[in-house]
Structure 1
Amino acid sequence: MPPKSGNYRIESINNQRDLLIQINWVSLDNEAYYSQYEFRPDGEVHPFPDKVMADAIKGEIENASTITLSFLKDDQEVLTVRKEILSNGYLKITQKGTKPDGTAFRNIDIYHKQLSVLPYASSVGSVAIRPTEEGMIKHKALQAMEEQTNMQLDQIRQQIELLARQATEIRKRKELSMMIYEAKLNFQPVIGHLYYLYQKKDDSYALSMVSPKEWGGTGPFKQFMAAVKLLADHTWAEVGESFTNVNE
C-alpha cells in the first residue's frame, strides 16, 4: 500500500551477526503500521518466524551499498527485497514477488537521507500487514521526534548562518579600518560622521571630508573608494552612498 510518510531503520544485532529491519509508516488513508524482522546476511536459508508471511528467509550483502532478501514459502520465493544506497545517499527499496492470486507485482520506494519516505513513492500492495496499537504509538513517537529534531537543527543552522554573516561583516570592517588607518589623515575623525576614502595617484589612500559630488569628480585623487563612517568601537563601516567616478 502506498506510504504517505514513514521511517526505515537497519541496524546490526547479536554481536553484528544479524541485521534488524524496522519499518513504520502512515498510509494515504492515515493508518499507521509497524513491522520488523531479523535476518542473517550470509546467503543461507534460515527459518522465518512469521509463517503467515514466509517459511524461510535468505539474506545476502551484495556489496557495500546493497542488501538483497528473499522470502520463501513452500521452497518458492514469494518476495524479493533489494535495499540499495544510491550515489546521492537515498535509500531505494525494490520489492518483487507474487500475490496470493498468482499475479506478479513490483514495488519501489525511495527514502531520503533522513530515512523518511518521499511523498511520490510508488507502491503496490504485497504482504498483508495489519495496523497495530504498537505501530501507531511508535510511528507517532518517531514522527514527533523527527519534527522536533529537524526544528532544532533548523534553528542551529539559522544561528550558524547569522554568525557567519556577522563574522564576514566584522572581517570587512577590519580590512576597511586597516586601510583607513594607513591612509593620510589631516583631521581628527568624529564618531558617527561621514567621510570619503580616496586612492591617490601613488596608490596610497587618503581620507577626506569632501565628497566626489563636491569635488565634481575625484578631485586630485586617482579614484574614489568608498563613503565610510567611524563607529563607536573605532572600526570603520562602508555606507551605502554611490558616486560616479570622474574617470568613467
Structure 2
Amino acid sequence: MIQAYNFLASWQLFPEKGVYEKGERPKSGTYRISNGQETDTPSIVVNMSWVTLENQSFASTYTVPADGTRYPTADNAMADEISARFPDGITFETIFYKNENPVVEIRHEIMPNGYLRVTRKHLGVEVFTNVEYYHKQMNVLPYSASVSGAVIRPTEEGMIRHKALTAMEEQTNMQLEQIRKQIELLALQAQEIQKRKELSMMIYGAKLSFQPVIGQVYYLYEKKDGSYTISMISPKEWGGGAGPFLRPIAPVKLLADHTWMEVS
C-alpha cells in the first residue's frame, strides 16, 4: 500500500505540543502504525499506548482494511464499525461508528516538518477535539520487512543520528520563532508608521494659523465645513465640547521627523 508508506513507523508523543479540549495531557505516549497480515485486502494496524501524569498506563489497538469500507470492530463497547482510508500520501483517516452514526473521527497528517499530527474529533453526547503531535523514532521500525525478517534494534549510530536530528530541529525551530517575532514587530512598526503618515497628511492638509513646535501637544478638530484644524485649546477648555468647531478628533503631537502621532 504505497500511500501508507509515510505512516509506517513508531511515533513518539510531544506531550507539550498537544491541544486538549477535554481530558488531561498525558505524560508520554507512543503511536505505532504498521501493515497487517497480507490478505486480499491490505490492512493497517494501529497500536497506541500512553502514560498519564499519575503514571497510569493505557493501551489500545485496532486493525482495519484501508479501503473506505465499514467493518465490524473487535470490541463494540465504543463503536460497532470502523472505516479507514488514505485520501493521499500524507493523510490517513479513520472513523468509528455507533448505531450507524460516527462517534469518533481521527485524522492523521504528515506535516511539512515530518511530524505526525493526530486530530481526534469526538462526536458523542459531548463534542470536543483533541490534537496531538508525534515525531518519528528514527532508529527503530515497528514492523519487519518480511515475515521472516530479523528484529531491528537501535544501534549506536542510529542513536547518534536521532540525537543530532533532535538538536538540529530544536535549534532551527528556535531560530524560526525568533524570526517570526521579528517579523511581527516589524509589521507593528509598519502599521504605526502608516497610521502616523495618514494623520500627518490630514493635518498638513488643514489650515494652520501658527507654527507648531516639536514635542508640543495640540488638538485636532473637524470644522463645520468638513476640513480640519489644530488648536492649542483642548476640548476640556471648551467646557468638554468642540468650541467653534464641529467635533474634536484627537490630541496630537509633532515629532522630530515632522510626522504627527496621536497621543492619549
Which of 98, 122, 134 in structure 1 is aligned with 2:157?
A: 134
2:222/2:245 contact within 8 Å kept:
yes
The one-letter code matched in structure 2 to 1:189 is: P
Q: Which residue of 1 aligns with 2:259?
A: 235
- Residues 224-247 of structure 1, C-alpha deviations (whole Å, 9 max, x = no match): 11111111111101111xxxxxxx
SS in 1 for 2:173: helix
Partner residue, 1:187: 210
Give the Å deviation of 1:44. Answer: 8.9
Counterparts of 1:166 and 1:149, CA distance in 2: 26
Q: Secondary structure at the match of 1:90?
A: strand
Query: What is the distance in 1 between the residues matched to 2:193 and 2:244?
Result: 31
Post-superposition shift, 1:201?
Answer: 1.8
Q: CA deviation at 1:19?
A: 4.4
- Equivalent pairs: percent with the same residue? 55
Segments of structure 2 that go 5 or more residues without pairing to the other structure are 16-31, 43-64, 68-84, 95-105, 120-130, 137-141, 145-150
Pairing partner for 2:226 from 172, 188, 203: 203
With normalisation by structure 2, the TM-score equals: 0.49
Provide the residue aligned with 2:179 in structure 1: 156
Instruction: State yes or no: 1:226 paired with 2:250.
Output: yes
Distance 1:237 1:44 in 2: 70
Give the alignment of 1:92-103 within 5 angstroms.
none
Q: Do the aligned residues in 1 keep the contact of 2:217 with 2:251 (CA within 8 Å)?
A: yes
| Larger Rg over CA atoms | 1
SS at match of 1:229: strand
Long gaps (5+) in structure 1: 1-15, 29-34, 46-58, 69-82, 93-109, 118-124, 241-248
- The offset of 1:139, in angstroms, is 2.0
Residue deviations 1:27-77, cap 9 Å, x none? 99xxxxxx9x99xxxx899xxxxxxxxxxxxx9784322399xxxxxxxxx
Structure 2 distance, partners of 1:171, 1:178, is: 11
| Aligned residue identity for 1:66 | F
- The 2-side partners of 1:27 and 1:200 are apart by 61
Contact 2:11–2:135 under 8 Å retained in 1: no
> Quick one: which amino acid aligns to residue 213 of structure 1?
K
Q: Is the 8 A contact 2:221 2:247 kept in 1?
A: yes
Contact 1:180/1:205 (CA < 8 Å) preserved in 2? Answer: yes
Tell me the TM-score normalized by structure 1: 0.52
What CA RMSD, in Å, does the superposition of the two structures yield over aligned residues? 4.5
Amino acid at match of 2:253: K
